[in-house]
Chain A
Amino acid sequence: MQVNENNFRPKIVAFCCNWCSYAGADLAGTNRLNYPADVKIIRVPCSCRVNPMFILRAFQRGADGVIMCGCHPGDCHYTSGNYFARRRMTLLFSMLDYMGIERERTRVEWVSAAEGAKFAATMNEFVETVTALGENKRLEDLRCKSKQ
């Protein structure tokens, strides 16, 4: 496969809410469940804290995929936060799709604090999908890159 020859590793940003998904990620670690190192987690208090700007920024700075994890609908620590997040992301992702960032590069997943296995499985699958899609160059700001 071409991607493997190039040794392409995607950059993936994961936003995890503090109460469910971040704890789920910790549980995946505690259970020693492997998922690729390409995933880097940013802790936010609630999925509703994830501003669409953050995701745009990630793509601008060269991320290849962004995943947002939150509590299951109805289980939000703040009662309704993940409902807001779900709607915002639906809109954002459809706009990103329009701009040429494939739907598969963005994802919302509900992971509870007990679902370490689900977290690892989700990340494995997501990384695989994004790796297959290859590097994302649509929104990348080359000015950011040249500064390095």
Chain B
Amino acid sequence: MQRIGVFVCHCGTNIAATVDVKAVAEAMKNEPGVVFSVDYQYMCSEAGQNLIQDTIKEQKLTGVVVCSCSPRMHEATFRKAAAKAGINSYMVEIANIREQCSWIHKDIMTATEKAIILARTAVAKVQLNAPLTPGESPVTKRALVIGGGIAGIQTALDIAEAGFDVDIVEKQPTIGGKMTQIDKTFPTLDCAACILTPKMVDCAQNEKIHIYAYSEVESVSGFVGNFTVKIKKKARYVDTTKCTGCGICTEKCPKKSVPNEFNLGMDNRRAIYIPFAQAVPKVATIDADNCNMLKNGKCGVCAKVCTAGAIDYKQQDEIIEEQYGAIVAATGYNPISLEKYDEFAYSQSKDVVTSLEFERLTNAAGPTSGQLLRPSDGKHPHTIVFVQCVGSRDTSGCGKEYCSKICCMYTAKHAMLTREKYPDTDVYVFYIDVRTPGKLFDEFYRRAVEQYGVHYIKGMVGKVAPRADGKLLVQASDLIANEQLHIEADMVVLAAAIEPDKSARSIATMLTASMDTNDFFTEAHPKLRPVESPTAGVFLSGVCQGPKDIPETVSQASAAAAKVIGLLSKDKLTCNPCVAHSDELMCNGCSACEKVCPYGAITYSDKEFRQPDRTVAIRRVASVNEAVCQGCGACTVACPSGAMDLKGFSNKQIMAEVDAICK
């Protein structure tokens, strides 16, 4: 039997004016288990807390009920006080007789009556309380960043800056991501490479940062502070410690006709290649699918020309296992495939390009060395039509329901740059809405219209028909003039919607991080915890969480880094002790709890149990990882055998509360 003390607070007159506190204290004396009951002016004051502590010692109390304000207000205060007096802080319950009683009722009789019932309910609960100890788990002071684009780079640099080790896993041969392919950045028009490549070099030179390029995450286990990750280093067939990045092999390789991914297939590379001049790490990679030596053993030119002896045709994929305290997902995006949009003739004409291809066509390192030329005949285009919202805001099933957010601005950028460099070009932009919220964004768009004379037309392109003479016949509506336009264009640029990288889904599954229907990672709270995943220890950076431009990505990347640093700077994590617990003797191994757990905190394992007949049987039972469980209780209700219960809010406790209220 517990020895319970009840402390009724006056809260000045806040409670005492409508609740007869003396009567409440008196009534509680008759409750089972209550050995002491008193009222006091201000329970939360130091004198009040001392009263509780002294009584705990004098009366040898095992449980405490404080009838006062909301537990959201002072539960922590009273728990701390109780702990100081030597009893477990989870042996304290609060009866909320202010917010939920004195403040809402006017009649003293009714209010007192209700206060007594609330106090009795709390007493009934304390009767069944058990001491709880928050678990502790150590923190591995190393972070993993999945994805080496600008988001991953910024996160890694910030974490390293704080003095923690951080690894970047990038599936491409070089870090840098999409930003390396972009020519200029809005709204300031500075060149992307000029601002990105120094950061890439910083990553390579920082001794706290380790880059696993051309690698993929293979599996993730563990929980916040203690993740174990297997990373697959794909075979490059080049010894990265020996390769100097001189590039002779990439010039001598006889296999010349491999589409170059970096320029989106608009020119060719060799079978052994370095993606671009500023690649980090700057080492060659052999594309096994196209290498004659690896396919049929006939060639070996690269090995012959390599003075460093770095070529190794026998290299194998390598699996590395590492421990991490925190993981940041920065998996990025890709433009959607435009196969389903026949009306824009993307697959019929080379002169219909996506905006990312247009970036390469205007980039000095691109296939045309920065000259804006038509991919079909290499001639200078005189009329260019830009189409916005291709696949964005599309509920027809072909595209994406959301706004891709960046297209309005980059289209304005393309249109402006085209007009600046080639004033003899007519530029049309077809828009549904122009969305330019952001610092200096709308000014930028207006400049394209007002200074550079870009024709912005409210309407949508309905059809693009390539003509035999190479022109593209664009049929579109102009909603403001209420007419249909027929434009003979030389090039059409499609602002394709962006979607999360395909690898994100499998990574989310490994991390047990939740995703929305569009495969963007979900945040722990859409407004207040935007860079954390609901899974503890997993953080989000960049477009993997939702479409965003470079300034926003960098801010979010730094925010994620701040959260990681906050986590890694702790030596130990204290866990919430009010977590689920499975009674292994009752568990029937049905997996119902595992399926409803939003955090992946429940795992199953085979365990040996001694049977009544002294034999040993192996049964599959659930166990809860207390460091991961957040204590929602979904599993406790899902459990058909009643094995799962929630500490601090156990079935018995809530039943007792129900009984006390209905008495």
Contacts and interface: CB of A to CB of B under 8 A. Distances in A.
B253 interface: no
B632 A34 contact: no
B98 A44 contact: no
A50 interface: yes
B111 interface: yes
Given A42-B657, A79-B598, A81-B632, A34 B105 contact: yes
Contacts of B663: 61, 148
B654 interface: yes
A103 interface: no
Interface string A104-129: 00000000000000001000000000
B189 interface: no
A130 interface: no
B543 to A, nearest CB: 21
B659 A49 contact: no
A41 interface: yes
Classify the secondary structure of A's interface with B: mixed
Interface stretch (B112-120, B294-302, B557-565, B581-589): B112-120
B70 A80 contact: no
Interface in B631-647: 631-634, 636-638, 646
B100 A41 contact: yes
A84 interface: yes
Given A29-B99, A30-B103, A37-B114, A46 B661 contact: no
Contacts of A8: none
Given A13-B661, A48-B637, A50-B637, A79 B649 contact: no
Nearest to B632: A78
Contact of A45 (B71, B106, B633, B655): B633
Given A34-B106, A40-B661, A42-B661, A29 B100 contact: yes
Contacts of B646: 45, 49
Interface in A45-65: 45-46, 48-54, 57-58, 61-63
B72 interface: yes
A45 B598 CA distance: 14
A35 B636 contact: no
Contact of B649 (A23, A37, A44): A44
Contact of B655 (A29, A40, A48, A54): A54
Contacts of A11: 661-662
A79 to B, nearest CB: 5
B634 A61 contact: no
How many interface residues does chain B have, given as a range? Answer: 35 or more
Given A37-B101, A40-B118, A40-B121, A81 B655 contact: no
Interface string A75-88: 00111110010001
A11 B534 CA distance: 38
Nearest to B653: A42
A71 to B, nearest CB: 11
A46 B662 contact: no
Contacts of B649: 44-45, 49
A133 to B, nearest CB: 17
A57 B659 contact: yes
Nearest to B576: A45
A26 interface: yes
Contacts of A93: none
B99 A30 contact: yes
The CB with the most chain B CB atoms within 10 A, among A29, A52, A77, is that of A29
B248 interface: no
Interface in B71-118: 71-72, 96, 98-101, 103-106, 110-111, 113-114, 117-118
Nearest to B73: A26
Interface in B182-229: none
A35 B104 CA distance: 7
Contacts of B658: 13, 42, 54, 57-58, 61, 63
B417 interface: no
Contact of B104 (A28, A52, A54): A28
A8 B99 CA distance: 25
A32 interface: yes
B388 interface: no
A57 B655 contact: yes
Interface in B118-158: 118, 121
B527 to A, nearest CB: 10
A101 interface: no
A13 B637 contact: no
A51 B514 CA distance: 25
B72 to A, nearest CB: 6
B105 A37 contact: yes
B637 A49 contact: yes
A94 B71 CA distance: 34
Contacts of A49: 632-634, 636-637, 646, 649, 654
Contacts of A78: 534, 598, 630, 632, 634
B658 to A, nearest CB: 5
B632 A48 contact: yes
A112 B101 CA distance: 20
A63 B118 CA distance: 15
A44 B70 contact: no
Contacts of A30: 99, 103
Given A44-B633, A79-B522, A32 B70 contact: no
B296 to A, nearest CB: 52
B111 A84 contact: no
The CB with the most chain B CB atoms within 10 A, among A23, A35, A84, is that of A84
A32 B632 CA distance: 30
A49 B630 CA distance: 12
Contact of A48 (B106, B113, B634, B659): B634
A84 B661 contact: no
B596 interface: yes
B25 interface: no
Contacts of B578: 45
A46 B632 contact: yes
Contacts of B637: 48-52, 84, 88
The CB with the most chain A CB atoms within 10 A, among B104, B514, B522, B655, is that of B104
A13 B117 CA distance: 12
B651 interface: yes
Interface string A14-28: 000010001101101
B661 A48 contact: no
B405 to A, nearest CB: 21
A37 B101 CA distance: 7
A3 interface: no
Contact of A84 (B118, B596, B657): B596
Contacts of B106: 34
A37 B98 contact: no
The CB with the most chain A CB atoms within 10 A, among B100, B101, B117, B596, is that of B100
Nearest to A58: B658
B99 A61 contact: no
Contacts of B654: 42, 44, 49, 51, 54
Sorted nearest first, the 10 A-B pairs with minimum C-beta distance are A29-B99, A49-B633, A61-B662, A78-B632, A48-B634, A29-B103, A46-B632, A26-B99, A37-B114, A37-B110
Given A29-B70, A48-B632, 13 more contacts: A13-B661, A22-B70, A22-B72, A26-B72, A29-B99, A29-B100, A33-B104, A34-B106, A37-B111, A40-B117, A42-B654, A46-B634, A61-B663
7 contacts: A13-B661, A34-B104, A37-B105, A44-B649, A48-B632, A50-B637, A88-B637
